[in-house]
Structure 1
């Protein structure tokens, strides 16, 4: 039978996706700007141009793009190790922190294993868990929009393999204190990997969240997850990293897609580590704008939890969420909406932030009432 005959044969079997994939909701990225007067505040990107040194490093490395990158990312891992005070054997890299997280889930979870995380939190969590055939265990946020660590500890079973702690939490911006995480670590089994996801850690005020490196040195089952996408402004190059016990980090490197972090991304990340002062100056400006916006929105009557990310969170039921999104869309401001939960607004340049403030002030009286 020829392939053409097979294609036209009634009832012929065709390839099918795995059940876990067929039923998987797609990850929904922040909407993109489609016009010159659009304020793109949906993706938590840095609104600064790339660090000049990083841009120069990418330009210099562009002539080698016909060659494969170092799949082991040795130079980047060594530089990160020196930056963090660990060894290169404790560092794994991947295409953004979400890529490293996929390596973590793939490396630790078999079908039917459980991964516990707060909800609402980063939308990729349940997708990556279900893709691995594991079971996502969502624990609702507490009344202060933060992690219910007691509830998460109570949800542990003999099938729990990984627990994800997002601090500051995306999308609410609420951090988890050092003492609360340490108490939590004492309460859970040492054979469960506890991932402290710190994608936005550079934007947090000192002392607002955990000293994750101190926790890692004290608890071998801690894994730290970070990215160059946010404060360092390398979202388009995709490079993130994890710090974990050497055997875990080695497993993460084994589960990585070969050559997944480009040579350009590696060079930009290495150079960015040397531009820490300039990055910190940009972060300080975002913190200042975040505080300014929060103060004005609270004066307008909006109830906000203190955010430690580069974004603000407005809790809203579905009716309020829909009205806010319609208003933002009409004003040319793109925000991130979460059905039934609320709206996340990236802190950007002052002019864009002022557009947000004016819009919310105009709708405050009728919306909040």
Structure 2
């Protein structure tokens, strides 16, 4: 007898994380190379003696802290095991068989996986020639079956970000029964004043009676907690209530909650690190441009090299130099901004490839 599983999962692509190779410089997963702050590590260590107890399933203290910091009611917040899990919950809460979820492509690699697992149909809209989201084409792709639209800004893996006027024009044109999710995993690295804060923008729409705008944030990137997994959604009460209904109990572990709270306590220090990353981002991009690479403007903690068919060769060249980047075969390579010495090693490898 053969065990029966879902036939549609046979062609489901697996999520491909950035590789970790002992002794190599890892610039593949958009992590913060400096690591968590000592105060955060101390808080985690002190909380470790209490891990025999279940965590607060609703992360009440963290919700309360974020509510005050973001100036939104607690009822408009939902916490999850990393923003990718909140993405999953949003899809599950809005979409099923016969429904559609729309997003630009290439964008966050988990979107198509989460949509297919939920049994909904995915609609991928190609990026513009400038490697940004094609909002006009995305609007044209919305149908009566569309339930949710992911707007990843800055976009992963290209780093391009949407400015206020174009994002507002898009939201204004989306039917008000379709949830627009502004995925802002890299918000803390944005230095373009024309790129809006998604949460503040969402508040403006809520005040006008448009409750279909939701925002995702994470502690994995700027806060350096990728290994503990904490993310959150800010949305209307109708959306957050539905998201919480599909929540896996105790999904955010106790140490993750403590670390997130400690990180908020040290936010000013962490944001200094973000500013340092942004400065390095500019140096890395300028150097790559001087080497002859095409590098789209980026507002994230990585750069995108649209290498096309040269991607695999570039990836192998970097691996030979013990540098791990995130290669998307046939499309390009995403390279995390690391410590200055890590970036120098990558730039030397990139120069060597450009010279071949």
TM-score range, shorter chain: over 0.9
Partner of 2:4: 16
Partner of 2:51: 65
Partner of 1:293: 284
* Distance change >3 Å, CA 208–CA 305, structure 1 → 2: farther
Deviation at 1:267, TM superposition (A): 0.9
The answer as to whether partners of 1:168 and 1:209 remain within 8 angstroms in 2 is: no
Partner of 2:171: 185
The answer as to whether partners of 1:100 and 1:242 remain within 8 angstroms in 2 is: yes
Write out per-residue CA displacement over residues 101-139 of structure 1, whole angstroms, 9 at most, x where no aligned residue.
111011110112101100000100000000000011000
CA distance in 1 between counterparts of 2:70 and 2:279 reads 27
Q: Specify the SS of the correspondent of 2:150.
A: strand
CA distance in 2 between counterparts of 1:263 and 1:212 reads 28
The answer as to whether partners of 2:303 and 2:337 remain within 8 angstroms in 1 is: yes
Partner of 1:6: none
CA distance in 1 between counterparts of 2:288 and 2:155 reads 20
Q: Structure 1 residue aligned with 2:157, among 164, 171, 185?
A: 171
Deviation at 1:340, TM superposition (A): 1.3
Write out per-residue CA displacement over residues 318-359 of structure 1, whole angstroms, 9 at most, x where no aligned residue.
2x1121011101100000000211001111011110111111
Q: Specify the SS of the correspondent of 1:182.
A: helix
Write out per-residue CA displacement over residues 283-328 of structure 1, whole angstroms, 9 at most, x where no aligned residue.
011011111111111111112111111111100112x112101110
Q: Specify the SS of the correspondent of 1:256.
A: coil
Partner of 2:330: 340
The answer as to whether partners of 1:69 and 1:263 remain within 8 angstroms in 2 is: yes
TM-score by length of 1: 0.93
1:159 aligned onto 2:145: yes
The answer as to whether partners of 1:314 and 1:344 remain within 8 angstroms in 2 is: yes
CA distance in 1 between counterparts of 2:241 and 2:174 reads 24
Deviation at 1:22, TM superposition (A): 2.6
Deviation at 1:208, TM superposition (A): 4.3
Deviation at 1:214, TM superposition (A): 2.9
Deviation at 1:273, TM superposition (A): 1.1
1:207 aligned onto 2:193: yes
Q: Specify the SS of the correspondent of 2:170.
A: helix
CA distance in 2 between counterparts of 1:334 and 1:249 reads 37
- After superposition, residues 312-351 of structure 1 pair within 5 angstroms as 312-318=303-309, 320-351=310-341
Structure 2 residue ranges without an equivalent (≥5) = none
CA distance in 2 between counterparts of 1:289 and 1:331 reads 21
- After superposition, residues 100-139 of structure 1 pair within 5 angstroms as 100-139=86-125
State the superposition RMSD in angstroms: 1.0
- After superposition, residues 223-234 of structure 1 pair within 5 angstroms as 223-234=214-225
The answer as to whether partners of 1:175 and 1:208 remain within 8 angstroms in 2 is: no
Q: Specify the SS of the correspondent of 2:314.
A: helix
Q: Specify the SS of the correspondent of 2:353.
A: helix
- After superposition, residues 234-273 of structure 1 pair within 5 angstroms as 234-273=225-264
CA distance in 1 between counterparts of 2:185 and 2:216 reads 7
Structure 1 residue ranges without an equivalent (≥5) = 1-11
Q: Structure 1 residue aligned with 2:300, among 309, 314, 321?
A: 309
CA distance in 1 between counterparts of 2:143 and 2:296 reads 31
Q: Specify the SS of the correspondent of 2:5.
A: coil
Q: Specify the SS of the correspondent of 1:54.
A: helix
1:221 aligned onto 2:212: yes
TM-score by length of 2: 0.97
- After superposition, residues 267-282 of structure 1 pair within 5 angstroms as 267-282=258-273
Deviation at 1:206, TM superposition (A): 4.2
Write out per-residue CA displacement over residues 48-73 of structure 1, whole angstroms, 9 at most, x where no aligned residue.
12122221111111111011001011
The answer as to whether partners of 2:159 and 2:303 remain within 8 angstroms in 1 is: yes
Partner of 1:363: 353
CA distance in 2 between counterparts of 1:108 and 1:350 reads 43
CA distance in 1 between counterparts of 2:201 and 2:95 reads 23
